[in-house]
Amino acid sequence: MTQARTRLERTPHQYVRRGDARVVTERLLGDWLVNFLYAHAREHTGTLFRALTSPRVSKLLAYANFDSALTARLVGHRRFLRACRVNLRECLDPPESFDTPRQLFERKIRYWECRPMADDPDAVLSPADARVLIGSFRSGSPLFIKGKFFEFEELLGRNKTTWLNAFRDGDWAICRLTPDRYHYNHTPVAGEVVDFYQIPGGYHACNPGAVVELVTPYSKNKRVVTVIQTDVPGGTRIGLVAMIEVVALMIGAVVQCYSAERYDAPQLVRTGLCVRKGVPKSLYRPGSSTDVLVFQRDRVTFADDLVRNLSRAGVHSRFSLGFGTPLVETDVKVRSPIARRAVKEGGSRWKTYFSSWRSERAPHYS
């Protein structure tokens, strides 16, 4: 084992909490297993590593960890809740109804009360309770980060020429969910779904150590891509936005369950669906994973605290250590603002990538 790898494994992973700007050390559940897989099994026993990160074994591990009643009895219901530090007062359903870890991870909350959304039509919202990193694909940008978390063309699909052209030199946000948080994904913007597709891939862990060891895992894992046109009446007016939901080890499914009101009448996401901002869109099953948002060039301005915290001194981040550049996450809540519509100097209107989607008739938002 190299000295650098040993140092990475022993380094705590910290983030900055929005609100009080406090530096918090993350409790990385299963960190020993991730270190074994990505620092030992991957290097010395490639066959075992490939087997453990395959769809079949990932599904079996998920059942053993999240669905088995035996697991709940062995771990202990209340002890498990305490370990995950779940705020049971937010839950829509009574806590005593949670018999397995899966039911806990897939819990619904009264987000309309405990995750209030600011009345700002220009705001881009966090799609999840998540730890957020921001960056840019543009080499001249101060936020430019190349080849660390994903490869641009691989992320969107190498055959998706239209979207590769649309998002080239754009900006991005990575929203990393953790086991202790609420696991529904919400819509970050309002607009019309113009494409929806799945890209096959692996089931690698999204633990910070695994991300550093594997490099570009978010464009290697299986993922679901939703492209939303926001330059429509009632939309957020920031051009095209790609929301990419990435599976992970033991997290094999992204269940699409869009609800315009609370969790009522869930429906599949499809092309032509007009979505409201800040409402439930999907659910990682059976736990937490990662969302990636991709924006067109110069269409958004990221929140000041996300930019400031990214290079904050004195924070121990495994991303910073592993990739050799300051990469500090900010912990944000779902439906809280992470960016706003950029205003071009002079007040001129931005050119829409597909002008044919402009219409005088407001679309119906389901």
> Is 50 exceeded by the pLDDT of residue 350?
no
| Domain residue spans of the chain | 3-26+118-343
> Is 80 exceeded by the pLDDT of residue 222?
yes
Above pLDDT 90, what percent of the chain?
51
User: If pLDDT is split at 50, 70 and 90, which confidence band does 31 have?
Assistant: low
Pick the range with the lowest mean pLDDT from 47-61, 79-93, 183-197, 261-275.
47-61
CA distance 123 to 82: 34
Average pLDDT, the chain: 81
CA distance 217 to 313: 26
User: If pLDDT is split at 50, 70 and 90, which confidence band does 77 have?
Assistant: low
pLDDT greater at residue 263 or residue 212: 263
> Is 60 exceeded by the pLDDT of residue 57?
no
pLDDT at 365: 59
User: If pLDDT is split at 50, 70 and 90, which confidence band does 141 have?
Assistant: confident
pLDDT greater at residue 97 or residue 324: 324
pLDDT at 291: 96
> Is 80 exceeded by the pLDDT of residue 63?
no
pLDDT at 113: 95
pTM of the full structure = 0.84
- The stretch 185-198 carries a mean pLDDT of 98
pLDDT at 1: 46
> Is 60 exceeded by the pLDDT of residue 160?
yes
pLDDT at 236: 97
Pick the range with the lowest mean pLDDT from 15-19, 155-159, 320-324, 350-354.
350-354
- The stretch 332-340 carries a mean pLDDT of 97
User: If pLDDT is split at 50, 70 and 90, which confidence band does 143 have?
Assistant: confident
- The stretch 172-193 carries a mean pLDDT of 93
> Is 60 exceeded by the pLDDT of residue 120?
yes
> Is 60 exceeded by the pLDDT of residue 48?
no
Chain segment 211-221, per-residue pLDDT in tens: 877 667 788 88
- The stretch 299-307 carries a mean pLDDT of 97
Pick the range with the lowest mean pLDDT from 37-41, 73-77, 328-332.
73-77
> Is 50 exceeded by the pLDDT of residue 41?
no
pLDDT at 70: 43
User: If pLDDT is split at 50, 70 and 90, which confidence band does 266 have?
Assistant: very high
